[in-house]
Structure 1
Amino acid sequence: MLRKDMSDPRATSPSQALSPPGWARAADFAAILFAILALTIPVSGGVRALVWGWHLKIVSPFRLLLFAAAIVVARHVLVGQPSLFRSLREAIVSWTRSAPLRTAALAAAGTRPVMFAVGYLTVIMLGYAPGAQPFRDFESELLNLPLRWDAGWYLGIATTGYSYIDSAGPDAQQNVVFFPAYPLLVRVVARLAGNSAAAYVVGATVTTVVLFVLALAYVYRLARERLTDDQAAATLWLLAAYPFSLFYGAIYTESLFLLGIAGAFYHFGRREFGRAAWWGLLVGLTRPNGLLLSVPLAITVLEGRGERPVGARIRGAPAACAAIAMPVAGAALYSAFIWRLAGSPFAWAAGHAAWGRHYEGLSHLVATRYGFIASVGLLEYVSREPYDLLNGLGAVFVLAAVWPVLRRFGPAYAAFILINILPPLAAGGLMSAGRFSSVLFPAFLWLGAAVPARHRAGWIATFAAIQAFNAALFYTWRPLF
């Protein structure tokens, strides 16, 4: 799937006309997966799990290799050409020539290591914030570096699963507020990497960066549907350098969420509703606001009503409706699990109150900030509430982008920004607003198109400098989360 999704559509080879049937591609994937799992067993020690009452134990690499060999033989007996090895070689060549993946990898490589370095050097040279109590699971500060703020919650879920203390209720911070897709993915990667404490931290960090690269590749493809090559590349660099994109290298859900929403938009726009549905389900299982993706997807259908004949729209309506519903279905699946665990399907929503999220409305947010600035002055506001200011700038940026996004890219993208930034502002104020703004990719599509080519380097450098400053705050345990 990645070969089709991430390769440059303008750079296809003639040999791709000869393609194995779908079941043969699935068999190839299974054989490669078994071979990879077999190679990880000497490091991980294998897999032991209880699945629906059955004890699953895979501790021998030879059995997996035997399964892989049997699949390869059966596949080539039934479908000889193109062979698995030829298909794999062509896929690798296609990936290396892919403009989306190349540009995404360069943007990630040009920003993520620098932010890690800034965080590490700040910790060892300047130290932590006064009174901070950072996690110290390792003797090495480098291994401790990713253990910041919500990372502890995600790693806790990945290692020991969910729990709920009835006597504490929603007034106590409990891990049910964190959705399962990301920690479950981290658990799989960590177990394959050795199932040690270091495997969880390093595996989660590497997983986050890889997901970010894939997410940027999808954003590039979305950009190329409306923008030039240069503008699409600028979009990726602006997004990667954005002051709050430091979370794309942290043990947070931003990378997975961006990948899911970009993948869902991309495939839904191409009427590939099956793939859009899977991405939508992932989004619904990744973050509480993931279910809201159904709204802009539905608007996308309304936008394209006049582009296709009535008969074609009617035939595609069931698949489109199913894809639209999948983000809600993902949240519903998690709610059903939480219902069984905590006795309430919405315990995850009620639990946000323990983090200070209470609905007060947008008017309250505006009135309190305006009144405070009017009474003490702007400079005093900045000195007393610097983190409020930083997060507020992120919110102002995406809100300012709504109108130009609406005019250039349509109501679906504009609605996507609004429904993902206004609710958290109304229930929680500016807390984490900067982080929330980092995944609202339509704002960066507009920025990549609006900034003249001669000014892009300056914008990217300024963004990156502020991101480095934010990284120093984040990694030294200051309240930028």
Structure 2
Amino acid sequence: MTTERTAAPAMRPAPTGARGALRAAGPALLVYAAVRAVGLLVLTIWTAAEGENVHTVLAQRWDSLWYARIAVDGYGHTEYIGGRAEHDLAFFPLFPALERALTTVLPVPTHDAGLIIGWTAGLAAAWGIHAVAVQVTGRRAVGLVLVVLWAALPPAFVQSMAYTETLFTALAAWTLYAVLTGRWYTAGALAVAAGLTRPSGLAVAAAVLTGGALELWRARRPRPRVLAAMALAPLGWLGYVAFVGARMGSPTGYFDVQKDWGNGFDGGTGFLRFLTERLRADPAHGLLVLAVLVCGLVLLIQCVRQGQPLPLLVYTLLIAASALVSEGYFSSRPRLLMPAFPLLLPLAAWLARLPRPATVATLSAAALGSGLYGAWFVLTQSPP
């Protein structure tokens, strides 16, 4: 695939409307639902065998509890664990706000509202990922394979939980699609929402700023819609950071909160220390982590060689970097990398060129493996 082919669609309008796009993405949504259904089936069987309740695992553990509490009571809860003060201000507000809104219109508990939002957002994310892939490569088959790969990632069990990964990925994917197709007001608004969902919303804003800068450079003149999108894009993230700063009485309040959680910025030294310790204490685990890093680097190089538009490359690089430069919660790193779906585009393009039986067999094995890994992880490991 040449650079000219992938760069050319960057600012052209989409050839079909929303209804046509949804019809074209129908197969991708079906396979996404099928892959996640496999994961849920495996998890249900495994949890039953362990005497656990699958609903509790999906909706009432770990981060899900924090979001539900914020949805019900607002911010202000702190837990003291191991001498550290863990504030609920570490959690961005859009997901609990949607939970609260949903419980006002539907007779469902807050935990179930989180599941409804997460599962619905998963379908929206699959649709957006498919749209981006088709826009970049011009091939629906690549979009279909990319959706399956994303749904069958090892940490994809989080996509079935009351977590923010699906909501964030949906907002990010559609922001990128809006940038690539020149829908600047939409790109700016969605970037604001992404910035209110997760700390990595800054990567979405950076993609809008990059795409806007490229468009202004090509046009050689001011363009109000582009400038408006660029001004809007970081406001969600900046607004929440300012809110936390005001609540904590310090301009660095948000970063102080993250540090209290043991998740402060350290430039990646904590991760390198973790990798070194793993290689020494558990060589198999350490080598596996190292192999994943090497594969990620190879895929990133392939993304550049594939000629992906610069906004996608910037977004992917910043998502990957943000997952590796904080000092704790290393078991969460795989799910933090999950929104970096453009990283899988070269692999999807390669798989789409294989004979169909080989592609189907590979993706089916990935789906089953993802389900088994997810069930093992949530029942035996630390919080995702």
TM-score by length of 2: 0.84
CA distance in 1 between partners of 2:260 and 2:88 (Å): 11
CA distance in 2 between partners of 1:345 and 1:464 (Å): 45
Post-superposition CA distance 1:287-336 (Å, at most 9, x none) = 11212322232322454567x543xxx242x4223322334210222233
Does residue 145 of the first structure (1) align with residue 57 of the second (2)? yes
Q: Secondary structure at the match of 2:154?
A: coil
Counterparts of residues 51-90 of structure 1 (less than 5 Å): none
Query: Partner of 1:401 in structure 2?
Result: 299
CA distance in 1 between partners of 2:382 and 2:21 (Å): 40
Deviation at 1:432, TM superposition (A): 1.3
Would you say the 8 A contact 1:162–1:176 is kept in 2? yes
Change (3 A) 1:172 1:393: farther
Query: Partner of 1:353 in structure 2?
Result: 259
Q: 2:39 aligns with which of 111, 115, 123?
A: 115
Q: 2:84 aligns with which of 156, 171, 183?
A: 171
CA distance in 1 between partners of 2:80 and 2:340 (Å): 38
Query: Partner of 2:354 in structure 1?
Result: 453
Query: Partner of 2:165 in structure 1?
Result: 254
Larger radius of gyration: 1
Post-superposition CA distance 1:70-97 (Å, at most 9, x none) = xxxxxxxxxxxxxxxxxxxxx8xx4796
Change (3 A) 1:467 1:240: same
Query: Partner of 2:49 in structure 1?
Result: 125
Would you say the 8 A contact 1:267–1:273 is kept in 2? yes
Aligned amino acid, residue 433 of structure 1: R
Query: Partner of 2:197 in structure 1?
Result: 286
Counterparts of residues 302-381 of structure 1 (less than 5 Å): 302-304=213-215, 308-310=218-220, 314-316=221-223, 318-362=224-268, 365-366=271-272, 369-370=275-276, 373=279, 375=280, 380-381=282-283
Counterparts of residues 10-21 of structure 1 (less than 5 Å): none
Deviation at 1:265, TM superposition (A): 1.1
Change (3 A) 1:185 1:372: closer
Counterparts of residues 293-304 of structure 1 (less than 5 Å): 293-304=204-215
Would you say the 8 A contact 2:33–2:123 is kept in 1? no
Identity of aligned pairs, percent? 22
CA distance in 1 between partners of 2:55 and 2:167 (Å): 22
- Please identify runs of 4+ aligned residues in structure 1 that moved more than 3 A: 9-12, 94-97, 164-168, 301-306, 358-368, 388-399
Deviation at 1:281, TM superposition (A): 0.6
Q: 1:186 aligns with which of 89, 99, 103?
A: 99
Does residue 433 of the first structure (1) align with residue 333 of the second (2)? yes
Q: 2:23 aligns with which of 93, 98, 114?
A: 98
Post-superposition CA distance 1:357-386 (Å, at most 9, x none) = 24443356336534652x45xxx433xxx5
Post-superposition CA distance 1:2-53 (Å, at most 9, x none) = xxxxxxx6667xxxxxxxxxxxxxxxxxxxxxxxxxxxxxxxxxxxxxxxxx
Would you say the 8 A contact 1:399–1:418 is kept in 2? no
Change (3 A) 1:95 1:163: farther
Aligned amino acid, residue 252 of structure 1: Y
Deviation at 1:347, TM superposition (A): 2.8
Aligned amino acid, residue 406 of structure 1: V
Deviation at 1:176, TM superposition (A): 0.4
CA distance in 1 between partners of 2:79 and 2:261 (Å): 17
CA distance in 2 between partners of 1:281 and 1:174 (Å): 23
- Please identify, of 399-408 and 349-358, the stretch whose mean Cα deviation from structure 2 is larger: 349-358
Query: Partner of 1:18 in structure 2?
Result: none
CA distance in 1 between partners of 2:289 and 2:160 (Å): 18
Q: Which runs of 5+ in 2 are unaligned?
A: 1-13
Deviation at 1:445, TM superposition (A): 2.0
CA distance in 2 between partners of 1:172 and 1:477 (Å): 26
Q: Which runs of 5+ in 1 are unaligned?
A: 1-8, 13-90, 129-140
Change (3 A) 1:350 1:190: same
Aligned amino acid, residue 354 of structure 2: A
Aligned amino acid, residue 442 of structure 1: P
Does residue 203 of the first structure (1) align with residue 113 of the second (2)? yes
Q: Name the structure, 1 or 2, with higher relative contact order (CA <8 Å, separation 6+).
A: 2
Q: 1:417 aligns with which of 316, 323, 344?
A: 316
CA distance in 1 between partners of 2:205 and 2:313 (Å): 14
Would you say the 8 A contact 1:362–1:426 is kept in 2? yes
Change (3 A) 1:231 1:173: same
Query: Partner of 2:150 in structure 1?
Result: 239
Deviation at 1:231, TM superposition (A): 1.3
Deviation at 1:416, TM superposition (A): 1.7
CA distance in 2 between partners of 1:336 and 1:359 (Å): 18
Post-superposition CA distance 1:404-447 (Å, at most 9, x none) = 11222043322222211223312136431110121101112222
Deviation at 1:257, TM superposition (A): 0.6
Change (3 A) 1:394 1:257: farther
Does residue 463 of the first structure (1) align with residue 366 of the second (2)? yes
- Please identify, of 201-210 and 290-299, the stretch whose mean Cα deviation from structure 2 is larger: 290-299
CA distance in 2 between partners of 1:343 and 1:370 (Å): 38
CA distance in 1 between partners of 2:259 and 2:201 (Å): 19
CA distance in 1 between partners of 2:272 and 2:22 (Å): 49
Query: Partner of 1:222 in structure 2?
Result: 132
Query: Partner of 1:15 in structure 2?
Result: none
Change (3 A) 1:338 1:202: same
Counterparts of residues 20-31 of structure 1 (less than 5 Å): none
Q: Secondary structure at the match of 2:263?
A: coil
CA distance in 2 between partners of 1:362 and 1:341 (Å): 28
CA distance in 1 between partners of 2:111 and 2:290 (Å): 31
TM-score by length of 1: 0.68
CA distance in 2 between partners of 1:10 and 1:319 (Å): 20
Change (3 A) 1:367 1:250: closer
Q: How many residues align?
A: 364
Change (3 A) 1:463 1:166: closer
Would you say the 8 A contact 1:104–1:214 is kept in 2? no
- Please identify, of 457-466 and 218-227, the stretch whose mean Cα deviation from structure 2 is larger: 457-466
CA distance in 2 between partners of 1:371 and 1:341 (Å): 37
Change (3 A) 1:417 1:369: same
Query: Partner of 2:10 in structure 1?
Result: none
